[in-house]
């Protein structure tokens, strides 16, 4: 993963500049006030930093910063893009653009599409990391010491086990809480549910019975009329003079002799036969209907009462009969489940205790690994950082339980909070000067000291697959040339497998760069503009010589400085 190109337009002194970048260590130098920090500010905007319309160049309404990134190898950034719906092509190129407007709100564009500030902070924060004396956010973050220590110790497997155990514990707690809420609600509703179930069960509901009652009552109330109608119909069909059956028989008899003469007539004959069969069937059904009309008046009262009970339940529960039957069965299941609630809760409580024990073991293992490994990490960090003009540095990690009275696990005799990172509070304590009291690194060290401490820690923990561009803004501030040499060595070591951009004013640092760019101010017309020029060969010698003596860019450096600059560059492994 790398930043291929940085483009800036109409930002402060910048009219429009392009900074192409390559892997390795890139140095950025220039006279005081030339605008080196504008490059840091532009990168900060791509990382989601605060935007200020006052930065827009005089006479312009729009300023913008654009970064062209290649995401090959940065699986986390690619996954984050995918999760946010950002499409990255097969070439792995991602373009971040930040626009500042004098009037109205600025815009964020990601691969040409308008996006949000939150998305830029997420993606940009994965791609750009800025360390300057004004931006010491990393060391001051509460989680920094823990994250650094875990990375330095390579506790990926332990952390994965911890997160899995916490997820299992949270799932067990959620299941228990849900079952307890369900049981509490059922306990409050149990009397109502019992009454409803008893009422519906005693009714002995049967699907279709309500419709049958309507039929029976309709027949019972109209029995005399139905018998008379059935008799008249039977007479018309079979017994009358002439009856329908006789007429159909006569029609068939008349047609059959000539049936063979016409296909259409044959079809009519078949219809007549079908009609005759239907009349016979209807007559038989009518006879059975009439024979069955023996209604006991006492049954009518029973049917009326039964139907009234059905209607009352339908009105009460606002359900049809199938719905009432389903409700009865649901209530039976709920009551049965409630009878087993105590056993369910006990089983879930046991499951939660087991999950808490697993989480406690995972947290305990993390704590052991941290406490065992922290002294060695602190020793190695001290060895790296003390040569960076911090000879009296003392550094140690404090690993303490994250105590919380109602925490879910007990470790070392105390209840603790529990997260996917364990149950510890990790602090990095430093003493930068002999005789002083130690304190947290984010508060006790000066800006330059924090920058150099962060550099040493970055080198020690540089094992991450996601390697953002690191920008160090005047990390050598306050150092002499000799004291800055170890800083340059660590910068070069850090840049062996990643991109590092360093803004410096010291020659002994500048010569270690794989590439060297110079920021200059010039007058164009009546305006001051900023330019970026890559220097190599003799032009680089001249720039290093200028750094040695602090001479102005337009004045040629003394011959002695040029000779020394040539010597420094010749001795640098980067040349």
Q: Could you read off the pLDDT of 173-221 as tens digits, one per residue? A: 999 999 888 888 888 888 888 888 888 888 888 888 777 777 667 666 6
Query: Across-strand partners of 521?
Result: 530
Q: Bigger pLDDT: 443 or 107?
A: 107
* Torsional sign, CA 550, 554, 558, 563: positive
pLDDT given at position 552: 59
Q: Which of 17, 15, 39, 13 is nearest to 26 (CA)?
A: 39
pLDDT tens-digit profile of 123-137?
A: 888 888 777 654 456
Q: Tell me how far apart the terminal alpha carbons of the chain are, to the nearest angstrom.
A: 24
Kindly tell me if the per-residue pLDDT of 159 is higher than 60: yes
Distance CA(524)–CA(522), nearest Å, equals: 6
pLDDT tens-digit profile of 355-367?
A: 999 999 999 999 9
Domain identity same for 115 and 190: no
Kindly tell me if the per-residue pLDDT of 287 is higher than 80: no
pLDDT given at position 63: 93
Among 324, 339, 354, where does a domain finish? Answer: 339
Provide the 3-class DSSP secondary structure of residue 475: coil
β 107-110/113-115 pair status: antiparallel
Kindly tell me if the per-residue pLDDT of 235 is higher than 50: yes
Domain identity same for 193 and 311: yes
Lowest-confidence region among 130-134, 342-346, 569-573: 130-134
Among 311, 339, 367, where does a domain finish? Answer: 339
Domain identity same for 96 and 222: no
Assigned token pair, 333: 């299941």
The pLDDT > 90 percentage for the chain reads 26
Domain identity same for 27 and 127: yes
pLDDT given at position 465: 47
Query: Domain for residue 140, yes or no?
Result: no
User: From the centroid of its chain, how far is CA 504?
Assistant: 39
- CB count within 10 Å of CB 362 equals 26
Query: Domain for residue 475, yes or no?
Result: yes
Contacts 24+ apart (CB under 8 A), 374-382: 374/149, 374/399, 377/149, 377/152, 377/153, 377/460, 380/152, 380/460, 381/152, 381/456, 381/457, 381/460
Q: At what angle do helices 209-221 and 297-317 cross, to 10 degrees?
A: 140
Query: Domain for residue 380, yes or no?
Result: no
Domain identity same for 119 and 19: yes
Mean pLDDT of the chain: 84
Query: Domain for residue 50, yes or no?
Result: yes
pTM over cut 0.85 = no
Domain identity same for 234 and 115: no
Domain identity same for 125 and 192: no
Query: Domain for residue 260, yes or no?
Result: yes
Kindly tell me if the per-residue pLDDT of 383 is higher than 80: yes
Among 290, 308, 339, where does a domain finish? Answer: 339
pLDDT tens-digit profile of 444-501?
A: 777 777 878 887 887 787 655 456 788 888 777 777 888 888 888 888 888 888 899 9
Kindly tell me if the per-residue pLDDT of 335 is higher than 70: yes
Q: Bigger pLDDT: 528 or 532?
A: 532
Domain identity same for 79 and 191: no
- Residue 23's CATH number: 3.40.50.300
Assigned token pair, 322: 């199938």
Segments forming the whole domain that contains residue 199: 186-339
Element (H, E) at 283: helix 263-291
Over residues 137-152, mean pLDDT: 82
pLDDT tens-digit profile of 255-271?
A: 788 777 777 888 887 88
Lowest-confidence region among 121-125, 161-165, 207-211, 391-395: 207-211
pLDDT given at position 108: 92
Domain identity same for 104 and 8: yes
Domain identity same for 211 and 117: no
pLDDT given at position 222: 64
Distance CA(401)–CA(413), nearest Å, equals: 10
Q: How many domains does the chain have?
A: 2
Q: Bigger pLDDT: 451 or 575?
A: 451
Q: List b or e across 510-547, with b for residues whose CB sees 16 or more CB atoms inside 10 angstroms.
A: bbbbbbbbbbeeeeeeeeebbbbeebeeeebbbbbbbb
Q: Are 451 and 476 in contact (CB under 8 A)?
A: no
């Amino acid at each position: 993963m790398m930043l291929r190109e940085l483009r800036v337009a109409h930002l402060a002194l910048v009219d429009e500049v392009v900074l192409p970048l390559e892997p390795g260590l890139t140095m950025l130098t220039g006279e005081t006030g030339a605008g080196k920090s504008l490059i840091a500010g532009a990168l900060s905007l791509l990382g989601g930093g605060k935007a200020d319309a006052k930065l827009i160049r005089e006479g312009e309404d729009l300023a913008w910063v654009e970064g062209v990134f290649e995401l090959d190898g940065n699986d986390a950034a690619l996954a984050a893009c995918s999760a946010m719906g950002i499409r990255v092509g097969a070439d792995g190129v991602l373009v971040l653009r930040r626009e500042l407007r004098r009037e109205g709100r600025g815009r964020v564009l990601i691969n040409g599409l308008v996006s949000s500030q939150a998305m830029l902070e997420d993606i940009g924060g994965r791609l750009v990391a800025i360390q300057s004396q004004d931006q010491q956010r990393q060391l001051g973050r509460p989680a920094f010491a823990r994250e650094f220590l875990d990375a330095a110790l390579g506790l990926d497997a332990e952390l994965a086990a911890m997160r899995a155990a916490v997820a299992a514990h949270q799932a067990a707690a959620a299941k228990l809480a849900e079952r307890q809420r369900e049981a509490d609600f059922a306990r409050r509703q149990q009397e109502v549910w019992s009454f409803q179930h008893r009422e519906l069960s005693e009714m002995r509901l049967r699907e279709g019975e309500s419709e049958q009652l309507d039929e029976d009552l309709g027949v019972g109330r109209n029995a005399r009329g139905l018998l008379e109608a059935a008799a008249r119909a039977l007479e018309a069909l079979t017994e009358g003079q002439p009856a329908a059956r006789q007429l159909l028989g006569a029609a068939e008899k008349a047609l059959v002799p000539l049936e063979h003469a016409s296909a259409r007539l044959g079809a009519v004959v078949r219809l007549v036969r079908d009609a005759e069969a239907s009349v016979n069937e209807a007559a038989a059904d009518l006879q059975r209907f009439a024979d069955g009309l023996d209604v006991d008046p006492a049954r009518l009262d029973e049917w009326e009462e039964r139907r009234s009970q059905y209607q009352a339940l339908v009105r009460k529960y606002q359900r049809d009969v199938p719905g009432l039957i389903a409700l009865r069965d649901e209530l039976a299941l709920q009551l049965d489940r409630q009878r087993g609630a105590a056993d369910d809760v006990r089983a879930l409580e046991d499951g939660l205790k087991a999950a808490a024990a697993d989480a406690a073991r995972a947290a305990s293992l993390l704590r052991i690994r941290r406490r065992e490994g922290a002294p060695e990490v602190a020793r190695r960090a001290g060895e790296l950082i003390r040569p960076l003009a911090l000879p009296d540095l003392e550094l140690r990690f404090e690993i303490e339980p994250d105590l919380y009275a109602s925490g879910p696990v007990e470790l070392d005799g105390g209840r603790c909070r529990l997260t996917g990172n364990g149950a510890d509070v990790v602090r990095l304590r430093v003493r930068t000067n002999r005789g002083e009291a130690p304190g947290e690194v984010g508060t006790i060290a000066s800006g330059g000291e924090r920058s150099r401490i962060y550099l040493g820690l970055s080198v020690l923990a540089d094992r991450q697959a996601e390697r953002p561009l690191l920008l160090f803004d005047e990390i050598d501030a306050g150092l002499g040339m000799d004291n800055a040499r170890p800083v340059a060595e660590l910068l070069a070591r850090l840049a062996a497998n990643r991109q590092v951009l360093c803004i410096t004013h010291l020659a002994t640092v500048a010569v270690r760069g794989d590439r060297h760019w110079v920021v200059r101010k010039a007058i164009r017309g009546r305006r001051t503009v900023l330019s970026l020029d890559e220097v190599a060969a003799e032009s680089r010698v001249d720039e290093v010589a200028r750094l040695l003596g602090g001479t102005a860019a337009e004045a040629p450096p003394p011959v002695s400085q040029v000779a020394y600059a040539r010597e420094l560059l010749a001795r640098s492994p980067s040349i």
